[in-house]
A and B are shown apart, each in its own frame.
Chain A
Amino acid sequence: MDYYETEEDSALTTFNVEEAKEIIRSAVEGVVGGNVYQHSRVKQWNSSVIEQCLSQLNKLGKPFKYIVNCIIMQKTGAGLQTACACFWDNSTDGCCAVKWENESMHCIVNVFGMAI
């Protein structure tokens, strides 16, 4: 009994990077877009971005575990590097990173999706 994955199946069972990116971008724009960095409000922005991403990702209805990571950094001239390494099922799991910025801050969101 060979188990052939159809395209539809693969669509259902692999992490769709483009879709995730779209979701993330819209969430970040909605929450942070047009604002100036304010230390008092950053915490709230962070939570909103992550919650929105997660709920949107969940609405996709795919059997995936999601990890969402959000970094908001003020533009003061510092540099930032992040990297990641994973040990997973390469065929079904994936991750994506979205970089968004305006004049006063950077916003970086990582999403990891692992098939159940």
Chain B
Amino acid sequence: MEIVYVYTKNREEFGRQCLLSDRPVELLVDIPPDQNAASNFIQRRQRDQAVQTLREQSEHQVNTERVEYISCGINHVEGGWPKDINPKDMEQTSRFRKMAEKDESYMNSILQLGSVTEHCCRQNNAVDIYQEYFEGWEEVEVSPELPSAKTINMFRDPNEIKRTVTGLSWHPDGGRKLAAAYSCLEFQKTSKDMSLNSYIWDVENPNRPELTLKPASPLVSLDYNPKDPHTLVGGSYNGQIVYWDTRRGSQPVEFSSVEQSHRDPILLCLQILWWDIRRLSEPTERLVLDPGREGNLDRALGAISLEFEATMPTKFMVGTEQGLVVSCNRKAKTPAEKIVCTYDGHHGPVYALQRNPFFPKNFLTVGDWTARIWSEDIKESSIMCTKYQMSYLTDACWSPVRPSVFFTVKMDGMLDVWDILFNQSDPTLSVKVCDRALYSLRVQDNGHLVACGSQQGETTLLEICAGLSTLQKNEKSLLAAMFERETKREKILEARQREIRLKERSRSEQSREEEIGRDDGEDDPDQLIARAESDFCSLVEGGLHRRERREEDVLRVSHSYSPTS
């Protein structure tokens, strides 16, 4: 602050006498204390101050690349010969041995070691560590817990170019091994670099496949022989059936040729049944899948999946690309009689077809966006159908342990577990296995483990919780009752439909000029299409609305719980 003040003063006033006087004390400011203002403040009695003297640090994680391990053992038989003895010379080695045996220290050490070894052996034999202690205890009742599934293991396609897992099969004896068939399902996308191999995996070792199967062309499906656990049969992309014996190694033992491609062969005893898209060729039988039973090649259907029940060797069923399920009799004489009946099933190809292992008259089909359960007697429609799902269903199978449980996999990577006794419209458990589409699914014979294969070549092994894989009391009888009920319902509906149709027909014959709308099945195709579209749109919209409303509800609930917005 620069303040400069220049002033002038008369010379005569310099040194003038100061006339100073006292000015008494004057109160300048008086501010009384104010309690109200004080209430705005509180005394700060403590202050926390954190002090730390540390050098700056940072955390960083590193993961090394996976190293492949191989376990192998070494057995040491005999060795350690001194330099001057030729181990291949019998005389020299026997002489050396005799010398060593006579050595003093050798005898002493043997005696000492012998006593130590004897002690250890006695210890081992004293207690049997494998003895079963709690034999005969009854199984504790499983408490009702939420159904769950855990991923145990994942087997990845070891090749660079990932292929879809199209077929899976468990080893029939205990299920420790899993055979997986890899191929590229997209037509003509196979590049030259893609490997043709399919693998057998051991459940405990996800790093390396136990055995590699080398067919001439990629395998589309693969199955273990249920009677002979060493043999496998696979159907390959170019239409050949290839047959392996695992004891003999990775090259196929036999294979046969075929004109056109087919998808799903099965092995029964030692016979092989074949199915072909257009034609069936040697060695066994010939059948043309035709709804009109005329044996006409032009109207043949493409077969996608096949179901064979070992206890009923004459009958089997085929699921087709067109959505029909055809039930056939193997023993029939003429081709026309082979096809016993057809079931009009799905709007798209029937990807999976399986009989219920406990109720062979009922079977499960999967195709388009639903899974349906059928009874053999009812041909018009399925006795049970799931809701339309969000994505395409690609495979399904029954649980071998519980008659009312089945599994499905979908194109969005979800595995659904359905328990029909519990809830028919929604899956009991939905697990997201991976982000890619899942193409194949197989349940192990004990019902605990499920393997599913994805588009990227990963096979995931899941363990299903005990609640879903142990047989419940009365389950069989309950399910039998349910199936009967549904079957009866369908029969009644079918009978009514027939009555209505008869009535309509008789009425329309009487009055021919007025074209009364015939019953629903004979509408104008355009009208049908329009109606189907509008039905579908309203269904989808309804589903979306419901979902939105549910989400809104969730948001509202969460907002009402937060104190400040």
In the complex, residue of chain A having the shortest beta-carbon distance to the beta carbon of B30: A81
At the interface, yes or no: B62 with Cβ under 8 Å from chain A?
Answer: no
- Contact A99–B7 (Cβ < 8 Å): no
Sample 25 A-B pairs with CB under 8 A, ordered by A number. Answer: A51-B1, A54-B1, A54-B3, A55-B3, A63-B7, A75-B34, A76-B40, A77-B33, A77-B34, A79-B32, A81-B27, A81-B30, A84-B28, A85-B24, A85-B26, A87-B21, A87-B22, A88-B20, A89-B20, A90-B21, A97-B28, A108-B28, A108-B29, A116-B7, A116-B9
Q: Kindly supply a per-residue 1/0 record for chain B positions 20-50, scoring 1 wherever the CB is within 8 Å of any chain A CB and 0 otherwise.
A: 1111111111111111111111000000000
- Contact B19–A83 (Cβ < 8 Å): no
Instruction: Determine the distance from Cα of A36 to Cα of B554 in the docked complex, in whole angstroms.
Output: 45
Given contacts A58-B3, A58-B5, A97-B28, whether A79 and B33 have CB atoms under 8 Å apart is yes
Residues of A within 8 Å of B7, CB to CB, are 63, 116
- Cβ of A31 to closest chain B Cβ, rounded Å: 15
At the interface, yes or no: B72 with Cβ under 8 Å from chain A?
Answer: no
The 8 closest A-B pairs by CB, nearest first: A77-B38, A79-B33, A97-B28, A77-B37, A85-B25, A80-B31, A86-B23, A82-B29
Q: Kindly supply a per-residue 1/0 record for chain A positions 77-116, scoring 1 wherever the CB is within 8 Å of any chain B CB and 0 otherwise.
A: 1111111111111110000010100000010101000001
Residues of A within 8 Å of B38, CB to CB, are 76-78
In the complex, residue of chain A having the shortest beta-carbon distance to the beta carbon of B39: A77
Instruction: Determine the distance from Cα of A88 to Cα of B1 in the docked complex, in whole angstroms.
Output: 27
Residues of A within 8 Å of B30, CB to CB, are 80-81
At the interface, yes or no: B557 with Cβ under 8 Å from chain A?
Answer: no
In the complex, how many residues of chain B place their beta carbon closer than 8 angstroms to a beta carbon of chain A?
29
Q: Kindly supply a per-residue 1/0 record for chain A positions 30-73, scoring 1 wherever the CB is within 8 Å of any chain B CB and 0 otherwise.
A: 00000000000000000000010011001001010000000101
- Contact B23–A85 (Cβ < 8 Å): yes
- Contact A81–B25 (Cβ < 8 Å): no
At the interface, yes or no: B146 with Cβ under 8 Å from chain A?
Answer: no
**Total contacts A to B, CB within 8 angstroms?**
79
Residues of B within 8 Å of A86, CB to CB, are 22-23
- Contact B28–A83 (Cβ < 8 Å): yes
Residues of B within 8 Å of A77, CB to CB, are 33-39, 41
- Cβ of A4 to closest chain B Cβ, rounded Å: 15
Given contacts A54-B1, A77-B34, A77-B35, whether A89 and B21 have CB atoms under 8 Å apart is yes
- Contact A87–B26 (Cβ < 8 Å): no
In the complex, residue of chain A having the shortest beta-carbon distance to the beta carbon of B36: A77
Please give the residue numbers on chain A whose beta carbons come within 8 Å of chain B beta carbons, in ascending order.
51, 54-55, 58, 61, 63, 71, 73, 75-91, 97, 99, 106, 108, 110, 116
Given contacts A77-B37, A79-B32, A90-B21, whether A84 and B26 have CB atoms under 8 Å apart is yes
Instruction: Determine the distance from Cα of A9 to Cα of B223 in the docked complex, in whole angstroms.
Output: 126
- Contact A83–B26 (Cβ < 8 Å): yes
- Cβ of B13 to closest chain A Cβ, rounded Å: 10
- Cβ of B343 to closest chain A Cβ, rounded Å: 85
At the interface, yes or no: B70 with Cβ under 8 Å from chain A?
Answer: no
Known: A77-B38, A99-B29, A116-B9. 20 other contacts (CB 8 A): A54-B1, A58-B3, A63-B9, A71-B29, A75-B34, A75-B37, A76-B41, A77-B35, A77-B36, A77-B41, A81-B30, A82-B28, A83-B25, A83-B27, A85-B23, A86-B23, A87-B23, A89-B19, A89-B21, A110-B28
Instruction: Determine the distance from Cα of A68 to Cα of B51 in the docked complex, in whole angstroms.
Output: 43
Which residue of the partner chain, among A79, A90, A110, contacts B31 with CB atoms under 8 Å? A79
Instruction: Determine the distance from Cα of A84 to Cα of B24 in the docked complex, in whole angstroms.
Output: 8
- Cβ of A87 to closest chain B Cβ, rounded Å: 5
Residues of B within 8 Å of A55, CB to CB, are 1, 3
